Amino acid sequence: MSSSTGTRGVRGLALAPRTLLGAEGVALAVAGVGAYWVRDASWLLFALLLFAPDLSMLGYLAGPRVGSAAYNLAHTLVAPAALLAAGLLGGVPLAVDAALVWVVHVGGDRALGYGLKYPTAFGDTHLGRL
């Protein structure tokens, strides 16, 4: 058992939760970009929407409690998965494209080590302090 991570490695490789979440983020981002590419969707739309979830940080203008709730809603897979399902079931290609860009954003954030926010302060995340 590793004293610094509290995890048992596979052949000496520590599989810390933060490392696994980062790898998961890379996988999500790559899968999202791949699906977007296969759909032959607009790359201009991709560029315009990629950082749209970060607009949720404006919630911090109303305080850390509202800000963290808004940020977390925009940075989990719940909303993009619902949008993806609605787009697929309803035959709305734009919704599918937007959902895939959203998945790429969430995956990219996880890959870079950005976590969900606690209501105490912007820098307090489930992955540690920023």
Strand pairing report for 128-129 and 124-125: antiparallel
Which parts of the chain register pLDDT below 70? 1-14, 127-130
Per-residue pLDDT at 1:
46
Per-residue pLDDT at 11:
63
What are the residues whose beta carbons fall under 8 Å from the beta carbon of 6, sequence distance 6 or more? none
